[in-house]
A and B are shown apart, each in its own frame.
Chain A
Amino acid sequence: MIKFIVVEDEQFVQENIKKIIRQISVKNDQDLKVEYYKKYNEKLQKEIDNDLYRKVYIMDIALDDSISGIDIAEKIRKKDWDSEIIFVTSHDQMFETVHRKILEVFDFIEKFQDMEKRLMNDIQKIFNKKIDSKTLKLSGKITDVEIYMKNILYITRDKEERKAIIYTDKDDVSFRVGYSLTELLELLDSRFVQTHKSCIANKNRMIEKNYAKGYFILDNGKKVEMLSKKYRKGIEE
């Protein structure tokens, strides 16, 4: 069940968004719940705290208040990384790039440029989107890290030190952590399987497996030579 929460102080924009959501409701034959706000208030905060529904927030950035759409997005992200956020606004490219990444904003839509079409497309994508927001949370000496499981490619054991190295698909980012493979397997979900005594891999990201030659290839093209026949059964299940 998806709930739409619209935070927009301009009446005509709010009416436009209302119209779009009504059209989507008819198209998908779903009765969609929608709430409208002109600014941040206690009722909106209660809505943010409520985790009964998956939510889609459609917000303006510049609200007629001291609390902007970005501030509201930050409050949302303090508790909830599963809901989608769409900003309907007019800000520059740099602003969009930074917040898209930091607050995981689904989209920024310009108010006066094909707003209806883009908003409809975005909402349809959200409907079709498979929610996979499971994260792996680990603690280091001074830093905590939270990694989306879908972004983890594979994990190997560090040969020199008793640590594991987690390889992700983002920007060659990897983490060396003070956990064993066994400990990590317990924290991860069933998509992660042991492929070798020194390797755990995300089987959803594997596109090719060669047990004879002992390697698997990931969807980013990387070849990992850590595949053992001993673990075949677990991988293929």
Chain B
Amino acid sequence: MRYALFLGCTIPVRGLNYELSARAVAAKLGIEFVDVEPFSCCGYPMKSTSREDAMAMAARNLAVAGEMGLDVCTLCSACTGVLTEAQKELDAHPDVLARVNGRLALVDREYRPGVKVKHFSRVLYEDVGLERLKEPVVRDLSGLRFAVHYGCHYLRPAHIYEGFDDPEDPHTVEELVSVTGAKWVDYEGKLDCCGGAILGVDQGIALRMSKAKLESVRKAGVDALVSICPFCTVMYEDNQRKIEQEFGETYGIPVLYYPQVLGLAYGVDPKELGFRLNKVKPTELMAKLGGAGGAE
């Protein structure tokens, strides 16, 4: 299994623990990630300004992967959505394709159909498969309880993902968590948006959206919230202190990337999973695992 690793904007500077842990578990599973320097931003932030510019950016990234003969594995859900959506639009509308390729010609590139785009969680679920995922497990996480945050663009809009999981009642990430022996719990508002996309437009609304989730996760009584998107993590973890201060609350809810959870079950050193970069320290969680260390 070989993929071009699409990091996007947030991960290489603000989500190194996601990148480190994804690379570590991929290595355990024999997934080869190819680093592609010419990849840019996926195009998502341009959608509000100009959808056609956003699509040109997405198409350029897909063209870069296509030139290398590689499929794309994404870690960020917004990147997954934008690249997948652009691909569907370009393949369905020859007029849009002609305009976009006209732009790409300016930089000697051409979008051609055929590059597959998959979120890393989907790669693990579909391409690796749950049985194979269990094989490297050396540590049972059955003492831990997690709440899963799906975020929006991993499964929505549904039509671009062609029937993968059910956006109204999803199960794939819980199944991925179960591979480690850990328990997952349902909680109110599980499918709710983190608000990250409008943090710059109206911080008050965005933080209240994240606060609602933190409240609900606290009620669920879990060891951590599991995320599969860097910007959702920015909202729930990086901004958790700000939310606590603004609303006079105390949450202290650790937010772990799924590959960090899987990596713990694989016995990978927490340092290699980037746990030092987790802003809400999962101290109690680590203690339950018998002082695996490395979290401080």
Are these two chains actual partners, yes or no? no
